[in-house]
Structure 1
Amino acid sequence: MCYSAQVWADWRRYRKQGGELDIKGFVRLIDEMGGRPGWIRKLPKATRDSLLDVRTEEGMALAKAVREANRAAEVMLRDELQAQTDRLTAAEAVLAGPKPTKKAANDQRIATDKISRAQRDLDDLVRTELLDRDSRIYPGNYVPVLVAEGDRYVVKPMRYQCRPAGKPAMYDTKYPGTYNARRDNLEGFWKDLFGHTHALLVVDTFYENVEGPDGKNQVIQFTPRDREPMLVACLWSHWTDPAGKLPDLDSFAAITDEPEPEVAAAGHDRTIINIKPEHVDAWLRPNPANLAALYAIFDDKRHPFYEHQLAA
């Protein structure tokens, strides 16, 4: 599995691969998510900030949508901070009185946690310098990925957890692991996508949950020793609601293979497939009648040594 990754969240980095921004796709995503509480946690800060620098007429409309969504998020976060501060003050007053209650203790704990989270989100929203975590994604997050459309490459916003076309929306909860696609199941569960709709995600480092020496879970960070960006083979799907009640969804899954030896030694049983640069075009423009050629790309994948350390 690939539980989390630090990726090329800034869409401009895909220009190296010839990627053109799908402005309309990002506008639709911002319009759909921008008014919701917590939307900034769904789209990495590095992505949101990079969308402010698209120098076309359509790009200016996109930048305006992002700024408006950011302002709405700031208002919601300040309201949340005030509400939770009031809740904390009330709880502490009860706890300091003659009859402290279990409810007050619970309110104190919850309010303290929510204040910390809201303050961090607010600080992240307003700061201008970027940190590594601004490019990190988890299942359910949206991120720029590269696809082929006709004779060009396009950078599209997609959710990192694939909902295949034709499947019900409840698949998101019934099959929460669909952010990864196992190589040995590509002609099974993923048969409608494999050989048809391929994407590329560029990853700098990835994180996995493993069992520590004490039997408890720990998060391990894996990074190629050569520090070369990983070109990760992905499948994607465009989902529409047959009832017309839910918005369209573009989503993807990263393909995983048997683990590299050093990854297995660190305690994890899968590794994302890191294809060679010379295979990018063949991967993004697959021939469904020649699946063997796609498996050959996997067999010829890159094998950098993946150094690992406990995640901070």
Structure 2
Amino acid sequence: MTVAQYSGEESSAGAAMCYSAQIWADYKKFTRQFGAILSIGDFTRIFWERREGGSPKIPKGIELAFAEPRDAFEAQVKQMIDEAREAELGRIDERIAIQQTKIAEAEAALQKRVTKKSQEIIRVANNRIAAERLKAEKLQRTEPADDDDRIWPGDYTLVMVVEDGRKIVKPMRYQCRLPGWTVADEKAKPGTYNARRDSLRSVWKRLYGYHHGIMVATHFYESVGRHDYEQRALSGGERPKSMELEFTPQTGEPLYIPVLWYAWTDGIEELLSCAAITDDPEPEVALTGHDRTIINIKPEYVDAWLSPDPKNLAAMDEILEDKRHPFYEHKVAA
């Protein structure tokens, strides 16, 4: 598929569904619930990429799940996490040193003549140093925080798939790079973290019926227009303002979110990435001003969803149609 053939998907986080979610970041939950095993190679690969200077966005919760390895496989992943952290801390120190040099030079220049340019150099450098130190603190933190398991488009999430008849948990980027796409295509159409149900047989036809997975979440978040939320029109001269809402199933049960995924490669780079399937909004979501809702399939359909028959897409359609409707309570996110 070329980028010109891409159509019908959401293209901006502010208008799309689902733009953020709190996920199961600890793969052991999948083990307990479904008997799934860990994809060692895929986990070590993304942390190897970070160690070598890449920038995969990996939620802290995924890392913390390996803090106390239970076997040699988990120890292998933890070693790569530790090496990636130390390598990044070294790069942070280097970036801070560069900014400190800029400050020293600007301060020396100020001793000769006060200029706005030198003052601005110092201000910007101090801000960059503060930002780098925050990154270092997060890398070194070992205690969990409330948002450690939250993802946004471009972040990595955990996806359960079936390979050779066995359920496996893989880390995948929450933004799918479709078959045939280049990196440039992806940048031109960044909304592929969601797959509209009504375009599964067109935009997503090379994945629907072939590459199915499950992502599990406890909450999802949406950005809506304040005037839409208040169910009113914009007043004269009023500019639209957005607000963030947090949605939680009233039942307290996790959401089993069906995803489509793809193992993309250009012969050099490899990328596992996915998209959550969305549908028309649940009534309570529509009332808040949003026009899509992620699909939440019934637990009894998980096995069938993970082992699709591309010659029987009707069976997959039935799974998506017979979705759960738990009633999503909402609150304004902090």
The two structures have a TM-score, normalised by structure 1, of: 0.90
User: Is residue 309 of structure 2 the alignment partner of residue 284 of structure 1?
Assistant: no
Q: 1:12 deviation in Å?
A: 1.4
CA distance in 2, matches of 1:248, 1:6: 26
Aligned partner of 2:73 in structure 1 is: 58
Which consecutive unaligned segments of at least 5 residues does structure 2 have?
1-16, 228-238
User: Is residue 289 of structure 2 the alignment partner of residue 271 of structure 1?
Assistant: no
Question: Closer, same or farther in 2 for the Cα pair 1:166/1:90, shift >3 Å?
Answer: same
Question: Closer, same or farther in 2 for the Cα pair 1:285/1:37, shift >3 Å?
Answer: closer
Which of the numbers 280, 284, 309 marks the counterpart of 1:258? 280
Aligned partner of 2:46 in structure 1 is: 29
Alignment of 1:205-216 (within 5 A): 205-213=219-227, 215-216=240-241
Aligned partner of 1:144 in structure 2 is: 158
Question: Closer, same or farther in 2 for the Cα pair 1:297/1:48, shift >3 Å?
Answer: same
CA distance in 1, matches of 2:93, 2:99: 10
CA distance in 2, matches of 1:264, 1:96: 61
Q: 1:262 deviation in Å?
A: 1.4
Which of the numbers 58, 64, 67 marks the counterpart of 1:49? 64
Question: What are the superposed Cα offsets for residues 10-44 of structure 1, whole Å, 9 maximum, x if unpaired?
Answer: 111111221100001111221122222655xx111
Task: Tell me if structure 1 keeps the 8 A contact 2:264–2:270.
Answer: yes
Letter in 2 for 1:3: Y
CA distance in 1, matches of 2:111, 2:322: 66
Aligned partner of 1:202 in structure 2 is: 216
Task: Tell me if structure 1 keeps the 8 A contact 2:49–2:55.
Answer: no
**4+ residue segments displaced more than 4 Å:** 85-98
CA distance in 2, matches of 1:91, 1:305: 58
Alignment of 1:1-312 (within 5 A): 1-15=17-31, 16-36=33-53, 38-39=55-56, 42-87=57-102, 99-101=114-116, 103-104=117-118, 106-213=120-227, 215-241=240-266, 244=267, 246-312=268-334
CA distance in 1, matches of 2:102, 2:322: 58
Q: 1:97 deviation in Å?
A: 8.4
Task: Tell me if structure 2 keeps the 8 A contact 1:52–1:66.
Answer: no
Q: 1:113 deviation in Å?
A: 3.8
Q: 1:226 deviation in Å?
A: 2.2
Q: 1:182 deviation in Å?
A: 0.3
Letter in 1 for 2:254: P
Task: Tell me if structure 2 keeps the 8 A contact 1:145–1:200.
Answer: yes
CA distance in 2, matches of 1:64, 1:99: 50
Letter in 2 for 1:80: R
Letter in 2 for 1:283: W
Letter in 1 for 2:250: R
Task: Tell me if structure 2 keeps the 8 A contact 1:38–1:73.
Answer: no
CA distance in 1, matches of 2:220, 2:194: 13
Task: Tell me if structure 1 keeps the 8 A contact 2:64–2:144.
Answer: no
Q: How many pairs align?
A: 306
Question: What are the superposed Cα offsets for residues 44-71 of structure 1, whole Å, 9 maximum, x if unpaired?
Answer: 1111122344433333222211111111
Which consecutive unaligned segments of at least 5 residues does structure 1 have?
none
Identity %: 44
